[in-house]
Amino acid sequence: MQDTNVSNRAFDTLIVGAGSMGMAAGYYLSRLGNKVLLLDAGDPPHEQGSHHGNTRLIRHAYGEGAAYVPLALRAQQLWADLEQETGTTLFARTGVVNIGSPDDPFLREVQVSAARHQLPLETFDGAQASRRWPAWRLTADQIVNFEPDAGVLYCERAIDAYRKLATALGATLRTNTRVVRMACHGRETVNVWTDKDEKFSARDLIVCAGKSTRHLLAPLGLDVPVTRVRKTFAWFEAASGLFAPDRFPGFFVATDIGGYYGFPDLDGSGLKLGRHDAGEAVSTDAPLAPFGAEPTDLGDLQAFLQRYLPGAGKLRVGRACEYDMTPDTHFIIDRVPACPNVHIATGFSGHGFKFASAIGEALAERITQGESHMDLSLFARKRFV
C-alpha cells in the first residue's frame, strides 16, 4: 500500500525511478537492511517507460559482447531465486535462436561468448534450422546459433514481484510522484524534490529514471549521452500452431532489412515481433505516438514476416515503447564524480531488462559495501569523455 506521510522520515537511500533497475535495487537494498524510498512518476509496472509488453528475451551467449556473459548468468540465477521466493513463474526456457550471415559481427560474438564461457550453443545453417523449426523460411547461407538454456522473462510480473518483496521488507514506495530536482552536498546528504513540493533526504541516491535521467543529472554537472528513441512492437495471430514454444524458440535476427526479435506464442498471446534497430529520437517530455502512427510501425514487421515467417497471421495489437540509447549501445552504470553517493544506471539501449536482477544487486552492493562483486567497468561513463 502507498505510504502518504513519509516526508520527515530519514532514509538511507532514495531511488528515483522504480522501474526495471530501480525496483530490483530497492529489493536488494531492503534485504540488506537499508532503509529505502522509491519514487516513481507512474505506478510500476506501467506502460510509460521501457518495461511493458509482457516479455523480454534473456540470452547468455551475448552478441553485444562476451564481457556481458557473467552478468547474464548472475541475472539468470537471481531470476530463479526470485521465482522461488515468490512462487511466481518469471522465466520460460524456450531457447533462443540468433540468426544472421556467417560474417555478421553479432553472430560471431555469440560464438566467442559461448566458447569463452563454455555455454551450450548449437549451430545450424538456415536450411537445417528451417527443418527443425518449420515456421522459419531461411536459406542455407544463413547461420543459426541456438541457445537451449536461454528464453523469455515475464517483465512486468518480475517488477511486481520485486515491488511486493521490497515493500514487505519495509521499503517505502511513492507512486505517481515525479522527481523534478536533485542536489548533493559532498558525501553527506542528497536531496530530491518532487512535483508535489516535497523534499526528501538520504545518504545515497540511485538515479535510474529512464528518459528523465539526463535532465535530472545536468544540475549535478554531469551529462550522460542518452537519447530517447521511440520503438514499436506487435502481436500477430498464430493459430497455425507453428509458433508454439516447443516448435519456435525466441529469436534475434540480423538481416539486410533490419534487426528483429520475437517470441513464441506463449499462453495464446500470439507471435510477438519487434524491430530492434531504427526508430525516431524523441524529446524527454513529448508523448509517444501510439503504434500505427507511422506507416513503418506495421510495414516493417509485415515485410519481415512475409520474407521469413510466412505462416504468421494478422495483426492483433501493437504498442509503442522507448529505448534509452547510448552512442555505443552499452549501459552507463557509474557514480556522479562531484557527488560520489549519487549512483546512475541508465542508457540500457533496448537490451537491459534481462540484467535488471543482477544490476539491482550490484547497485545495492555498491551502496552498502562500496563496490560490487560483478565487474561493471564496461559501463563506466568515462568512455565518452
- Binder among 13, 15, 19, 254 for ligand FAD (CB under 6 A): 19
Write out the three cell numbers for 273: 515481433
Tell the smallest beta-carbon distance from residue 99 to ligand FAD (Å): 15
Tell the smallest beta-carbon distance from residue 117 to ligand FAD (Å): 18
Cβ atoms of 127 and 138 within 8 Å: the answer is yes
Q: Does 41 bind ligand FAD (CB under 6 A)?
A: yes
Q: Does 275 bind ligand FAD (CB under 6 A)?
A: no
Cβ atoms of 58 and 75 within 8 Å: the answer is yes
Catalytic annotation on 321? yes
Cβ atoms of 356 and 348 within 8 Å: the answer is no
- Binder among 178, 203, 316, 383 for ligand FAD (CB under 6 A): 178
Q: Residue 206 burial by CB count (10 A; 0-12/13-18/19+): exposed, middle or buried?
A: buried
Annotate each residue in 234-273 with x if it binds ligand FAD (CB under 6 A) or - if it does not, as one string.
---------------------------x------------
Total residues contacting ligand FAD by CB under 6 A comes to 38
Distances (CA, A) of 37 to 3, 171, 182: 10, 6, 14
Nearer to ligand FAD, 106 or 127 (CB): 106
Tell the smallest beta-carbon distance from residue 52 to ligand FAD (Å): 8
Q: Does 326 bind ligand FAD (CB under 6 A)?
A: no
Write out the binding residues for ligand FAD, residues 87-126 only, by CB under 6 A: none
Catalytic annotation on 276? yes
Match 540511485 to its residue by C-alpha cell: 206
Residue ranges in the chain assigned as alpha helix (H): 20-31, 69-86, 105-116, 126-132, 155-168, 213-217, 295-308, 356-369
Q: Does 179 bind ligand FAD (CB under 6 A)?
A: yes
What is the Cα–Cα distance from 382 to 288, expressed in whole angstroms?
Answer: 31
Q: Does 212 bind ligand FAD (CB under 6 A)?
A: yes
**67: Cβ–Cβ under 8 A, 6 or more apart, which residues?**
375, 378
Q: Among all residues, whose Cβ is closest to ligand FAD?
A: 19
Q: Which segment (84-92, 102-110, 303-311, 345-353) binds ligand FAD by CB under 6 A?
A: 345-353
Nearer to ligand FAD, 324 or 365 (CB): 324
Tell the smallest beta-carbon distance from residue 177 to ligand FAD (Å): 7
Catalytic annotation on 157? no
Catalytic annotation on 208? no
Residues found in the chain? 385
Q: Which of 184, 208, 321, 339 is catalytic?
A: 321
Return the percent helix, strand and coil in the chain, to nearest 5.
30, 30, 40
Q: Does 157 bind ligand FAD (CB under 6 A)?
A: no
CA angle 156, 262, 331 (to 5 degrees): 65
Taking Cα atoms as reference points, which of 93, 152, 97 lies closest to residue 121?
97
- Contact positions vs ligand FAD (CB under 6 A): 16-22, 39-42, 44, 48-51, 53, 56-57, 178-179, 208-210, 212, 231, 233, 261, 274, 321-323, 348, 350-354
Q: Which residues are annotated as catalytic?
A: 52, 55-56, 272, 276, 321, 354
